[in-house]
């Protein structure tokens, strides 16, 4: 791996982790759902629009995807939040919103990225 790519992942990881932390402070468990849903959309959009179309240099695409979005989303906090919920119904609702919402937003990001890429290809 190239040094520039490592620096990019480090730098953007700091940004993503900091944004996640700040949203978590403001919104508690809701912040975890929010960052994971936003992250699902952003990673799919980045993958299908920016990365596949090579709109950015590889070091920057890796920094944004792996570094920023990877640090922004968090499976470990998601798991702890689910375990900390007081009722089975609350935990089930939280899981459904996170998993189904994540898939739907990732799909939306993918479709938007593909469509925007096709518009750009026609120009």
Domain count, the chain: 1
How far is 98 from 104, CA to CA, in rounded Å?
Answer: 10
Domain that holds residue 41: 3-122
Its pTM stands at: 0.82
* Binding-site residue set: 70, 73
**Cβ contact 102:40 at 8 Å:** yes
Q: CA–CA separation, 114 vs 123, rounded Å?
A: 15
**Per-residue pLDDT at 123:** 67
Count Cα neighbours of 26 within 13 Å in the Cβ-side half-sphere: 10
The annotated binding site for Na(+) is made up of: 70, 73
Per-residue pLDDT of the chain (123 residues; tens, 9 = 90+): 799 999 999 999 999 999 999 998 999 888 889 999 999 999 999 988 887 787 889 899 999 999 999 999 988 778 888 888 889 999 999 999 999 999 999 999 999 999 998 887 776
pLDDT of residue 50: 83
**Cα 12 off chain centre by:** 13
């Amino acid at each position: 791996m190239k040094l520039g790519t490592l620096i990019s992942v480090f730098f953007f990881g700091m940004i993503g982790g900091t944004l996640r932390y700040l949203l978590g402070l403001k919104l508690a468990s809701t912040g975890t759902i929010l960052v994971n849903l936003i992250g699902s959309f952003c990673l799919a959009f980045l993958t299908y629009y920016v990365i596949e179309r090579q709109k950015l240099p590889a070091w920057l695409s890796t920094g944004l995807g792996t570094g920023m979005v990877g640090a922004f989303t968090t499976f470990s906090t998601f798991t702890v939040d689910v375990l900390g919920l007081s009722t089975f119904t609350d935990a089930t609702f939280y899981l459904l919103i996170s998993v189904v919402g994540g898939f739907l937003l990732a799909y939306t990001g993918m479709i938007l990225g593909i469509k925007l890429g096709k518009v750009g290809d026609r120009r």
